């Protein structure tokens, strides 16, 4: 049973790797539309397609009869599986390197800051992890023993699954940059508001969802009382008087010498006639 699964998984592996690379090629064609670059992407796409066709055909007919790949009791003549997998992996790594290096000259010709160019280059170069996985898989394949497949091919199977999975993630990163930037900005706002509210509570104030990370000023109690005397003065005036006053001392005792003043807002529009004395 394991040999049949290995036979099918090798074909699925080649198909998934080729599909990922074709999607990256199409992404490059949409981003950089210069004639020379488009021609280069088409050449790479043709190489990837040829690699997939060769790998699938050789994998299917690597034993004669085909049944000999999973039925060791059947007399068969097979090619060296280790040599075949190493050759496939080497060509796979070469196309990976080409795909990684292709967009770099185009990125550094864009009209943007050096920091943005470096950031974009790093984003596109995240595919290096796929190359590392491919190299490690080659090492494991070269050490595999067909006479004891259940032991020697276990880690080969694991890394055969890891490589295309990492490839999918890396190929999606360039398109996820705006989303990740928005998530990071919202997270920074939330962390700032949380830290500001924690400090405000420690100082005796009230938390605010609209906090911008700054602490309210501390004022002397005598200055605080002067504001309310002005409000009383306005209330003794006659005529057209429209005054809106809001004040908050953060819930502290107004008799204290040091009061945490969170807000005093006065909006006043008045036409005054003083009473005759």
pTM for the full predicted model: 0.61
Q: Which residue in the block uniquely carries the two structure tokens 């049944």?
A: 67
Helical ranges in 203-274 per DSSP H: 221-235
Angle at 232 between CA 230 and CA 237, to 5 degrees: 100
Q: What is the DSSP string of 171-215?
A: HHHHHHHHHHHHHHHHHHHHHHHHHHHHHHHHTT----TT--S-P
Both tokens of 16, joined, read: 């998934």
CA 171, CA 158: separation in Å to the nearest integer?
Answer: 20
| Backbone dihedral region for residue 210 (phi beyond 0: left; psi -120 to 50: alpha; all else: beta) | alpha
Q: What is the pLDDT of residue 269?
A: 54
**Token pair belonging to 80:** 């060296």
Profile the chain (277 residues) by mean pLDDT over runs of 10 residues.
78 92 92 90 94 92 83 79 82 91 89 86 84 85 68 79 88 79 80 69 52 45 55 50 45 47 50 52
């Amino acid at each position: 049973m394991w040999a049949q699964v290995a036979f099918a998984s090798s074909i699925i592996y080649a198909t998934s790797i080729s599909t990922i690379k074709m999607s990256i090629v199409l992404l490059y064609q949409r981003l950089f539309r210069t004639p020379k670059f488009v021609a280069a992407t088409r050449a790479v796409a043709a190489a990837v397609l040829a690699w997939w066709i060769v790998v699938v055909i050789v994998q299917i007919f690597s034993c004669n009869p085909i049944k000999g790949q999973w039925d060791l009791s059947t007399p068969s003549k097979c090619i060296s599986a280790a040599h075949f997998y190493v050759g496939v992996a080497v060509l796979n790594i070469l196309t990976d390197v080409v795909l990684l290096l292709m967009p770099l000259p185009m990125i550094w010709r864009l009209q943007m800051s050096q920091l943005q160019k470096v950031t974009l280059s790093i984003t596109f170069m995240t595919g290096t992890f796929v190359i590392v996985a491919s190299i490690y898989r080659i090492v494991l394949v070269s050490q595999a023993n067909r006479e004891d497949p259940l032991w020697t091919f276990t880690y080969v199977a694991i890394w055969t699954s890891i490589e295309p999975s990492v490839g999918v993630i890396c190929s999606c990163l360039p398109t996820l940059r705006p989303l990740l930037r928005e998530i990071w900005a919202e997270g920074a706002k939330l962390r700032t508001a949380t830290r500001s509210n924690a400090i405000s509570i420690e100082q005796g104030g009230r938390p605010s969802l609209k906090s911008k990370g700054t602490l309210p000023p501390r004022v002397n109690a005598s200055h605080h009382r002067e504001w309310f005397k002005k409000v009383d003065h306005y209330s003794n005036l006659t005529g057209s008087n429209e005054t809106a006053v809001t004040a908050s001392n953060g819930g502290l005792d107004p008799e204290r010498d040091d009061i945490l003043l969170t807000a005093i807002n006065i909006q006043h529009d008045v036409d005054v006639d003083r009473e005759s004395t």
